[in-house]
Chain A
Amino acid sequence: MLLNQFLLLGAVLFCIGVYGVLVRRNSVLVLMSIELMLAAVNINLVAFSAYHDNVAGQAFALFVLTIAAAEVGVGLAIVLLIYRNLRSADLDDVDVLKG
């Protein structure tokens, strides 16, 4: 196995996540696309950990996992609050600050 395989897989997965964040309208789907990007980063970290034969990459992958879980918790709470106030979870409807 080559390191490049994993790096390219991570890059493609990250770009699919970027596409999802740019294109999706529903806020839960945007959060899912962000999870795609975090998963891509984890693949890179673990691949470098195996390449350099150093466990630091795996330790950081675990930190990324933890922070992703915290992010989803707070993010869904915010989505819930937006839904309660606006009766909609679409990001296009959150335009109170628009002039």
Chain B
Amino acid sequence: MIAQNVAFGILAAAIIAAAIGVVRSNNVVHAALYLVVVLAGGAAQFILLGAEFVAWVQVLVYIGAVIVLFLFGIMLTRAPMRSEDDLDNDQRWPGLVAALFLAGILSSLLLDQWKWGATEIELTEPTRTTEITSAIFRTYIIPFEVVGVLLLASLVGAVLLARKD
């Protein structure tokens, strides 16, 4: 249990530092690479929670596909590859105040609902992929089909939008 808590602490510190890098970096490509660190840390947290299938899907879909898509987006919009000073607008302080306000409200509500120390997660063994797939294909078959149609629609929509006439 101690080892798990230490691993959680290291991962959480890395995730938060990289997430601040995403929103503070002066270089668009560096921001995309910081996002890789955030998502990989998230996948490691999933493994810590015994959700191995979700962790590897996160690695494949996010780090494999979405980041590549972001890098293509950066290239195609000819965003400045070098460091730039004007990536932020002039709402930096109002934005910081709003984010801190939201963080305060969220954490006080969460700690009010789930008391610190009373919510130990008891992990017996990692979730087997069979359980997740049977949940998706039995209980949540309708949402699964809807997500399939949504993916098709977004694929067609993206091709239609990006096509040059």
Contact = CB atoms under 8 A, between A and B. Distances in A.
B92 interface: yes
A59 interface: yes
A71 B158 CA distance: 10
A66 B150 CA distance: 9
Contact of A2 (B42, B117, B157): B117
Contact of A65 (B50, B58, B107): B58
B136 interface: yes
A56 interface: yes
A8 B109 CA distance: 10
B12 A36 contact: no
Nearest to B140: A59
Contact of B15 (A3, A9, A35, A92): A9
B139 A56 contact: yes
A24 B90 CA distance: 9
Interface in A22-65: 22-29, 31-33, 35-36, 39, 42-43, 46-47, 49-51, 53, 55-56, 58-59, 61-63, 65
A61 B51 CA distance: 10
Contact of B16 (A12, A49, A65, A74): A12
Contact of A28 (B61, B74, B100, B106): B74
Nearest to A5: B8
Contacts of A67: 147, 150
Interface of A: 1-9, 11-20, 22-29, 31-33, 35-36, 39, 42-43, 46-47, 49-51, 53, 55-56, 58-59, 61-63, 65-74, 76-81, 83, 89, 91-92
Given A7-B114, A25-B89, 13 more contacts: A1-B48, A4-B116, A9-B15, A14-B106, A46-B46, A50-B49, A55-B127, A67-B147, A70-B154, A72-B70, A76-B70, A83-B76, A89-B79
